[in-house]
Chains A and B, each alone.
Chain A
Amino acid sequence: MSAAISEPLVITEAETRVAVATQRQLIWWRFRKHKLAVVSAAIVLAFYVIGVFADSIAYSEPFDTMASRSYIPPQPIHWFDADGRFHPRVYALKGKRDPRTFKLSYAPDPSEPRDVVLFGRGYDYNLFGLLPTDIHLLGVANGRPQDALFLLGTDQLGRDVFSRLVLATQTSLTIGLVGVTLSLVLGVLLGGLSGLYGGWIDVTIQRVIEILRSIPTIPLWMGLAAAVPTSWSPQRVYFAITLIISLIGWTELARVVRGRFLALREEDFITAAELCGASRLRIIFKHMVPSFLSHIIAAVSLALPAMIISETTLSFLGLGLRPPAISWGVLLQDAQNLQTLALAPWLLVVAVPVIVVILAFNFLGDGLRDAADPYG
C-alpha cells in the first residue's frame, strides 16, 4: 500500500495550466481542437465582412438595367497578357442577335482590352451608411465597370449578378441575425420562465411549444407573409418577415434555455447562493447566466441557418422580401423555372453561398456546442 502512495506525484506544466485556466480559456482550447469548426468560423466571419463592405465589393450599380446586356454569360478576367506578364484585363463584348431565334449571344473582342484595377471608381454609395464615396474594390481603368466587368454574368434585365449577389449576402445575413435576436429574446424569456418557476407555467409553455412544433411551418409562414401589404416599403416588409420567421423559430431556443435552467437549479453553488440570501435576479444574472451563456451562443449559431433558409424560401416563393429588395431568395426567384435555367445556368450560382454559409454555421454550432461544456 505504501508503495502506491510513495510514488512521486508528478504534476506536469500542462496540467497546471489546465488547473488554473479560466472557463473562457478552457472553452477556447476545446473549440480550437475542432478544426472544422475553426475553419467554419473563419468562413462565417468572411461572409459577414463581405456583408459589411458589400457596396465596396460590388462594382456595378445593382439596379442598373440595360436590355442590351441581357443574359451575358460569366466573363473571366485574363490575368496575363500575350508576353506572359501579369496584366489583368477583360475584353469588350460584342453582342449579336440571332436572326432566327432572336437570342442574343456575346463574343469577347481581344482587340479591345480593358485593364482591371484595384480600388477603381464606380457608382456612388455611402460606406457604412456614412461616408460618401465611389471607390470600389474592383474597377476598370478607362470606362464604367458595369459595361466591362461581368464576373458572374448578368440576369435578364442586364443587371450584374456578382454585384447583386454581394448585396444579397448583406440582406440575407442580417435578416438571419435580426430574426435570431428576436427569437432569442422570446426563447430566453419563455424558456427561462418555464425552467425557473416550473408548475403550471412550465406545463403551459411546454404545451404551446409542442403545438407550435406540430403545425407545418411553411404553409403557416406563407399564410402570414401573404398578408403583408404590397404597398409597404421594403424596410417595413423586411421587419414584418423577420418577425414572422422568429415567431415560430423561438421554440428550440426556449427548449435549450429551459433545460439549462432545470439543470442549474439543482447545482450546489445555486443552493449556496440562495442560502447566502442572494436575490432571485442576482442568482439568475450573476450565477446562472454566465454558466449557460456558452450553450445559448451554440444554440444561436445552430438557429441562424434555419432563419436564413426560412427567409430564402419565403422570398423564393415571392412571399418574403420583394424586389427592389435584394436577398438570396429574391435572386433565386429569377432562376425558378427550367426555361431560364437552360438559358442562363449561371443564375444558379446563388446556391453556392447559401449552401456554404449554412454548412459553416452548422459546423460552427457543433463545435461551439462541444466547447460550451469544456469539462465533459
Chain B
Amino acid sequence: MLPYLLRRLVLAAVTIVAITLVTFGILHLPPVDFVTAYAAQAAASGTSISAAEADAMRLAYGLNQPLWVQYWKWLSMVSVGDFGRSFEYGRPVTEVIGDRLWLTVLLSMGAIVITWGLALPIGIYSAVRQYSIGDYVFTFLGFIGLAIPNFLLALIVMYFGFRLFGINVGGLFSPDQQLAPWTWTKVLDLLNHLPVPVLILSLAGTAQLVRIMRANLLDELRRPYVVTARARGLSERRVIMKYPVRAALNPFASTIGYLLPFMVSGSVIISVVLSLPTVGPLLLRSLLSQDMLLASTIILLLGILTVFGTLLSDLLLMWIDPRIRLGQLR
C-alpha cells in the first residue's frame, strides 16, 4: 500500500513540475515578451505605462536574464499565488479568474458524477441483457456519443433548444442573477442551469465507460465462480451484484484518472459555445489577445487541479481494490 501511495505522490509531483515547465514555455512562446505586449496594449488604450514601470516588471520577471533564472523567478512568484496582472482587464489575474475556476471544477466534477451514475447501471444492464433491444439501443447511442465532438453536440443542442422550445440553453445563471452576490436563490439558479452543460459534457465519457463496463462484466460473467454461485441457489441479483460487478468495477475506477483531464478539456470547449462563465471563454479570449499572464495562469491552474483530482481518484482506487491495498498489484 505504501509503495503504491508513494509512487503516485512522486508521479503527481513530477507531473506538476512538467506542467509548470510547459506553462512557462507557453508564457514565452509569443515572439514579443509579455511586458512589451503590456506596454503596447496600454499605449493603444491610451493609458500608457511609464518606462520605469515596465523596467520594474522586466526586473521582477528577470526578462533580461537566462531562461532558467526567469523560470525560477516566475515559479517563486507563482508558488505564493502572485500570478501578476491581466493586461486586458487591468486587474490582478486572480481577481479576473475569480469564481470562474470553481465553476469549471463544479462543471467537470458534475460531469464525472453523472458519467458514473449513468455508465454503471447502463453498463450492467447491457452486459446482463446482452443482445437485447435495450443493449442495442444503448450501443447505438454510445457510438453516437463517441462520434460527436462535444462542441458540436453543444451547438446542436443549442440550436434545437431554441428551435423546438424557444429557450436559450447557454449560460449558468439567469440574467438577473449574473452579477448578484452568492445567495440561496443564486445557488438554486445555478443548479437549474447546470444539467444541460453537464449532460453534454458527460455524453462522450459515458459512452466510453459503458463500453468498458459492458466488456469487463461480460468477461466476469463467463467465469466459473458465477456458475458456482448460481448452482448454490443465490438469487440472480446477488449472483451479479456481489462479485462480478465488483470485479468489473476495478478498471472502471482506474479510468477516472483519464476522465478528469478529458472533462476539463471538454468543459473549456463547451463553455465557449454555450457562453458559460467558466475559465474556458476567458482562456480563449486571453489567448487571442495575447494576454499571456492570464492565459498561462489558467492553463497552470487547470493542470494542477487535474493532477490533484487524479491523485484523489488513485486514493479512491486504493480504497476500492483490495489488491492494491495489500500491495499485490503494481
List residues of A whose CB falls within 8 A of some B CB: 207, 210-211, 213-220, 222-224, 226-227, 229, 305, 309, 312-313, 316-319, 332, 335-336, 338, 341-342, 345, 348, 351, 354-355, 358-359, 362-363
Q: How far is the CA of A309 from the CA of B150 in the complex (A)?
A: 10
Besides A214-B307, A223-B299, 17 other A-B contacts (C-beta < 8 A): A211-B15, A211-B18, A214-B261, A218-B268, A222-B268, A222-B283, A223-B22, A226-B287, A317-B269, A317-B284, A332-B152, A332-B155, A338-B158, A351-B148, A351-B155, A355-B152, A359-B144
Counting CB contacts under 8 A, is B84 at the interface?
Answer: no
- Report whether A318 and B288 are in contact in the complex, using a CB–CB cutoff of 8 Å: yes
Give the Cβ gap from A328 to chain B, nearest Cβ, in Å.
Answer: 10
- SS class of chain B's interface: helix, strand, loop or mixed? helix
- Report whether B261 and A341 are in contact in the complex, using a CB–CB cutoff of 8 Å: no
- Report whether B306 and A214 are in contact in the complex, using a CB–CB cutoff of 8 Å: yes
- Report whether A362 and B146 are in contact in the complex, using a CB–CB cutoff of 8 Å: yes
Counting CB contacts under 8 A, is B310 at the interface?
Answer: yes
- Report whether A215 and B269 are in contact in the complex, using a CB–CB cutoff of 8 Å: no
Counting CB contacts under 8 A, is B78 at the interface?
Answer: no
Give the Cβ gap from A286 to chain B, nearest Cβ, in Å.
Answer: 35
Report B256-294 CB contacts with A as 1/0, cut-off 8 Å. 011001101110110011000000000110011010000
- Given A223-B287, A319-B287, are A215 and B19 neighbors across the interface (CB < 8 Å)? yes
Q: How far is the CA of A351 from the CA of B151 in the complex (A)?
A: 11
Give the Cβ gap from A205 to chain B, nearest Cβ, in Å.
Answer: 14
Q: Which residues of A contact B261 (CB under 8 A)?
A: 213-217
A-B contact pairs, 12 of them (CB 8 A): A210-B15, A211-B11, A211-B18, A214-B15, A216-B261, A219-B303, A222-B287, A223-B29, A223-B287, A227-B29, A313-B149, A359-B144
Q: How far is the CA of A316 from the CA of B150 in the complex (A)?
A: 12
Q: How far is the CA of A316 from the CA of B168 in the complex (A)?
A: 21
Q: How far is the CA of A179 from the CA of B79 in the complex (A)?
A: 36
> Which residue of A is nearest B295, CB measured?
A223
List residues of B whose CB falls within 8 A of some A CB: 11, 14-15, 18-19, 22-23, 26, 29-31, 143-144, 146-149, 151-152, 155-156, 158-159, 162-163, 168, 170, 257-258, 261-262, 264-266, 268-269, 272-273, 283-284, 287-288, 290, 295-296, 298-299, 302-303, 306-307, 310
Q: Which residues of A contact B144 (CB under 8 A)?
A: 355, 359
> Which residue of A is nearest B169, CB measured?
A338
> Which residue of B is nearest A213, CB measured?
B258
Give the Cβ gap from A66 to chain B, nearest Cβ, in Å.
Answer: 26
Q: How far is the CA of A218 from the CA of B108 in the complex (A)?
A: 14
A338 interface neighbour in B26, B31, B147, B162, Cβ under 8 Å:
B162
> Which residue of B is nearest A345, CB measured?
B159
Give the Cβ gap from A251 to chain B, nearest Cβ, in Å.
Answer: 11
- Report whether A342 and B29 are in contact in the complex, using a CB–CB cutoff of 8 Å: no
A226 interface neighbour in B156, B295, B307, Cβ under 8 Å:
B295
Give the Cβ gap from A307 to chain B, nearest Cβ, in Å.
Answer: 12
The 9 nearest A-B residue pairs measured at CB: A227-B29, A218-B265, A226-B287, A223-B26, A216-B264, A359-B147, A216-B261, A358-B147, A216-B265
> Which residue of A is nearest B284, CB measured?
A317
Q: Which residues of A contact B30 (CB under 8 A)?
A: 227
- Given A317-B284, A335-B155, are A215 and B295 neighbors across the interface (CB < 8 Å)? no
Q: Which residues of B contact A319 (CB under 8 A)?
A: 284, 287-288
Q: How far is the CA of A213 from the CA of B159 in the complex (A)?
A: 33
Q: Which residues of A contact B29 (CB under 8 A)?
A: 223-224, 226-227
- Given A318-B288, A362-B147, are A341 and B22 neighbors across the interface (CB < 8 Å)? no
- Given A351-B156, A358-B147, are A215 and B303 neighbors across the interface (CB < 8 Å)? yes
Give the Cβ gap from A321 to chain B, nearest Cβ, in Å.
Answer: 15
Q: How far is the CA of A354 from the CA of B268 in the complex (A)?
A: 20
B152 interface neighbour in A213, A220, A223, A351, Cβ under 8 Å:
A351
Q: Which residues of B contact A359 (CB under 8 A)?
A: 143-144, 147
- Report whether A210 and B268 are in contact in the complex, using a CB–CB cutoff of 8 Å: no
Q: How far is the CA of A317 from the CA of B281 in the complex (A)?
A: 10
Q: Which residues of B contact A317 (CB under 8 A)?
A: 269, 272, 284
Give the Cβ gap from B114 to chain A, nearest Cβ, in Å.
Answer: 18
- Report whether A219 and B162 are in contact in the complex, using a CB–CB cutoff of 8 Å: no
> Which residue of B is nearest A356, CB measured?
B147
Q: Which residues of A contact B299 (CB under 8 A)?
A: 219-220, 222-223
- Report whether B307 and A341 are in contact in the complex, using a CB–CB cutoff of 8 Å: no
Q: Which residues of B contact A363 (CB under 8 A)?
A: 143
Give the Cβ gap from B298 to chain A, nearest Cβ, in Å.
Answer: 7
Q: How far is the CA of A310 from the CA of B170 in the complex (A)?
A: 23
- Given A218-B265, A224-B29, are A342 and B162 neighbors across the interface (CB < 8 Å)? yes
Q: How far is the CA of A345 from the CA of B162 in the complex (A)?
A: 11
A217 interface neighbour in B265, B272, B273, Cβ under 8 Å:
B265
> Which residue of B is nearest A310, CB measured?
B149
Q: Which residues of A contact B296 (CB under 8 A)?
A: 223
Give the Cβ gap from A87 to chain B, nearest Cβ, in Å.
Answer: 35
Q: Which residues of A contact B170 (CB under 8 A)?
A: 338
